[in-house]
């Protein structure tokens, strides 16, 4: 166990979370709808479908057809979501092959570079620097690169903290890291509110929109510097050592049986001595490899777990691939399916209430500053749910049962909450009371659900495929399912009578809730150990 002080653990979590903050500041800024006076081409279509900044639509796309402008913007935005799973595979390979810390350093730079470049791009036809059709093309290219990098940030950070954290604190520390999402969204909302109240329309469209993107430069440099010299988790190092020892044993057995004994290794190189240094005194205690007894025990437990799950083990000569994605497909594809199903409801519930719903409130006449204030309060409520669930894990509560019960509660609450919010938005005199209470209440439940899916999902996978498997599953769940939620809900609304339009979000969420409940059942069968008390103790 890593013996770090409380102050050092605070630094570890901040360093791991700074990239996630940058990721969600960028994402939330693009999802914040500015004040109505900024939107020179606003229509009912754009206000209904677009959760993104109207200023950016005006800056990068022609204004002759507002509907086409909105669709083009959504297409560019979707690129970032679609490629995130590919980024998860790319950075997951780095994390499972070359070390968790290397992934975190590379990802934050790869995420910051396209973000800063977007802030320097010429516009379509506004301001002194214009490029016509080249502007949206360049935006698409750098959104793609940005999405790839974002796919490799949150997942590896979660894996890093979950492996490095002491068992007794693991649930809380992972939950605190998840709060980086909340911090990012709050900072982005505050920044948008500041810009709204200090810049006029022309200033915002010419240079004001660039500020949030350019700020990523300083954040990334700070994050990269802070991540230098961070220790690698013992779970990763011990698994790498055990893998090498197992390869040697297999080669020896093959040689004794008359076969040609060759030693293969799934980890190309061990992490450098520098990466094993701790924060203060350079002691390698926090990142040292477990002793031989621990390694033998770890290898034996891994063998028993694989045999129990009916998986052909590497001791039988299988899945010796050096590529984590191939190991994942051979060993844990069923676990990955369980993870995506397990995360389905909470992914959609989060996006529906922090992107789609605020835009609907503004469309109904609620002032932008009010909807932004509701988002801030909701993120604080969500953080409370995260921490409560993380603490429950450390106290011995069962993860899958928590998610099962919370999903049922959330599915039931959705009908009443969305109906109440919709009704109050139509009657603005009571909007403050209902919206300020109901949306944060729903986010409290969502926060508990978010914590109940993340830490258990990391333990579906063996250490040497863990970053790849968890990141890929997370980005398919949150990135794809969550990302398409505003589209799906809006499409459902268009086909519903006016008096029941408020039921559109609950219908979508109930459908995904059923999938999540199925995921709970499947995960209990696939990895029953995840439903035992002290899930944080599972290495």
Quick one: 467 exposed, middle or buried, by C-beta within 10 A (0-12, 13-18, 19+)? buried
Least confident of 37-51, 220-234, 279-293, 439-453: 37-51
Q: Which pLDDT belongs to residue 271? A: 41
Mean pLDDT of 406-421: 85
Stronger pLDDT, 254 or 383, i.e. the higher one: 383
Q: Which pLDDT belongs to residue 280? A: 36
Q: Which pLDDT belongs to residue 159? A: 92
Confidence of residue 214 (pLDDT cuts 50, 70, 90): confident
Closest CA to 243 of 19, 527, 463: 463
pLDDT for residue 228 is more than 70: yes
Mean pLDDT of 290-307: 45
Least confident of 15-19, 170-174, 210-214: 15-19
CA distance 308 to 125: 63
| Token couple for 460 | 């579906």
Q: Which pLDDT belongs to residue 58? A: 82
Q: Count the Cβ atoms, other than its own, within 10 Å of residue 64.
A: 8
Q: Which pLDDT belongs to residue 108? A: 86
pLDDT for residue 283 is more than 80: no
| CA distance to 117, 224, 265, 310, per residue, from 321 (Å) | 37, 31, 9, 19
Q: Which pLDDT belongs to residue 265? A: 39
Least confident of 144-153, 250-259, 413-422, 498-507: 250-259
pLDDT for residue 67 is more than 80: no
Mean pLDDT of 508-536: 85
Mean pLDDT of 393-419: 88
Contacts by 5-10, CB closer than 8 A, 24 or more apart: 8/278, 8/279, 8/280, 9/165, 9/169, 9/173
* Topology alike, domains 1-230 and 322-539: yes
pLDDT one-digit tens code per residue, 118-155:
989 998 888 888 888 898 899 999 989 988 988 888 89
Stronger pLDDT, 295 or 276, i.e. the higher one: 295
pLDDT one-digit tens code per residue, 450-500:
999 999 999 899 888 899 999 999 999 887 888 788 778 877 877 777 777
CA distance 265 to 503: 54
Confidence of residue 89 (pLDDT cuts 50, 70, 90): very high
User: Among all chains, which residue has been given the structure tokens 């993860």?
Assistant: 399
Q: Which pLDDT belongs to residue 288? A: 40
Q: Which pLDDT belongs to residue 244? A: 64
Confidence of residue 320 (pLDDT cuts 50, 70, 90): very low
Which range has highest mean pLDDT (11-25, 75-89, 280-294)?
75-89
The phi-psi region of residue 300 (left if phi > 0; otherwise alpha if psi is between -120 and 50; otherwise beta) is: alpha
Q: Which pLDDT belongs to residue 360? A: 74
Least confident of 323-337, 352-366, 468-482, 520-534: 352-366
Residue ranges of the domains in the chain? 1-230, 234-270+289-318, 322-539
Total-model pTM: 0.76
Least confident of 6-15, 186-195, 441-450: 6-15
Q: Which pLDDT belongs to residue 227? A: 75
Percent of the chain at pLDDT > 90 equals 20
CA 227, 233, 239, 242 torsion-angle sign: positive
pLDDT for residue 48 is more than 50: no
Q: Which pLDDT belongs to residue 445? A: 95
Quick one: 436 exposed, middle or buried, by C-beta within 10 A (0-12, 13-18, 19+)? middle
Confidence of residue 506 (pLDDT cuts 50, 70, 90): confident
Stronger pLDDT, 292 or 54, i.e. the higher one: 54
Confidence of residue 269 (pLDDT cuts 50, 70, 90): very low
Average pLDDT value over all residues in the chain:
75
Mean pLDDT of 151-174: 88
Mean pLDDT of 101-121: 89
Q: Which CATH superfamily is domain 1-230 in?
A: MFS general substrate transporter like domains (1.20.1250.20)
Q: Which CATH superfamily is domain 322-539 in?
A: MFS general substrate transporter like domains (1.20.1250.20)
Closest CA to 303 of 243, 350, 263: 243
Q: Count the Cβ atoms, other than its own, within 10 Å of residue 134.
A: 12
Count CA atoms within 13 Å of residue 48 on its CB side.
13
């Amino acid at each position: 166990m890593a013996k770090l002080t409380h102050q050092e653990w605070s630094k570890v979590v901040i360093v791991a979370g700074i990239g996630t903050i940058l990721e969600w500041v960028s994402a939330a800024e693009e999802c914040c709808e500015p004040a109505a006076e900024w939107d020179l081409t606003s229509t009912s279509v754009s206000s209904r479908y677009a959760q993104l900044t109207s200023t950016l639509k005006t800056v990068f796309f022609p204004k002759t057809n507002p509907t086409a402008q909105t669709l083009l913007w959504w297409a560019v935005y979707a690129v970032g979501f679609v490629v995130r799973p590919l980024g998860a595979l790319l950075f997951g390979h780095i994390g499972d092959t070359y070390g968790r810390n290397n992934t975190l350093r590379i990802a934050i730079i790869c995420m910051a570079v396209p973000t800063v470049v977007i802030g320097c791009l010429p516009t379509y036809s506004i301001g002194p620097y214009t490029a016509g059709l080249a502007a949206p093309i360049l935006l698409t290219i750098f959104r793609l690169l940005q999405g790839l990098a974002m796919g490799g940030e949150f997942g590896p950070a979660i894996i890093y903290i979950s492996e490095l954290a002491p068992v007794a604190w693991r649930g809380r520390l992972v939950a605190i890291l998840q709060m980086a999402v909340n911090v990012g969204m709050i900072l982005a909302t505050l920044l948008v509110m500041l810009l709204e109240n200090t810049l006029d329309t022309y200033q915002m469209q010419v240079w004001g929109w660039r500020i949030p993107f350019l700020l990523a430069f300083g954040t990334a440099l700070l994050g990269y510097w802070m991540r230098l010299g961070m220790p690698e988790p013992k779970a990763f190092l011990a698994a790498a050592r055990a893998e090498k020892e197992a390869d040697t044993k297999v080669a020896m057995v093959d040689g004794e049986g008359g076969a040609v004994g060759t030693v293969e290794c799934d980890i190309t190189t061990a992490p450098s001595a520098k990466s094993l240094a701790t924060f203060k005194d350079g002691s390698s205690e926090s990142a040292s490899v477990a002793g031989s007894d621990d390694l033998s025990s770890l290898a034996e437990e891994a063998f028993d777990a694989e045999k129990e799950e009916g998986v052909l083990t590497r001791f039988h000569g299988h899945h010796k691939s050096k590529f984590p994605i191939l190991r994942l497909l051979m060993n844990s594809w069923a676990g990955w399916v369980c993870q995506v199903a397990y995360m389905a409801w909470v992914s959609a519930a989060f996006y529906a209430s922090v992107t789609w719903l605020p835009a609907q409130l503004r469309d109904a006449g609620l002032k932008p500053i009010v909807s932004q204030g509701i988002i801030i309060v909701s993120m604080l409520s969500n953080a409370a749910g995260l921490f409560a669930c993380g603490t429950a894990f450390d106290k011995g509560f069962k993860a899958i049962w928590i998610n099962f019960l919370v999903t049922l509660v959330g599915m039931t609450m959705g009908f009443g909450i969305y109906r109440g919010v919709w009704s109050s938005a139509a009657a603005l005199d009571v909007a403050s009371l209902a919206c300020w209470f109901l949306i944060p209440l729903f986010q409290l439940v969502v926060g508990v659900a978010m914590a109940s899916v993340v830490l258990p999902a990391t333990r579906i996978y063996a250490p040497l495929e863990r970053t790849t498997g968890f990141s890929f599953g997370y980005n398919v769940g949150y990135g794809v399912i969550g990302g398409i939620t505003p589209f799906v809900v809006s499409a459902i609304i268009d086909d519903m009578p006016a008096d029941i339009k408020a039921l559109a979000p609950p219908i979508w969420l109930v459908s995904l809730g059923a999938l999540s409940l199925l995921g709970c059942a499947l995960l209990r069968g696939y990895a029953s150990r995840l439903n035992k008390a002290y899930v944080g103790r599972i290495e």
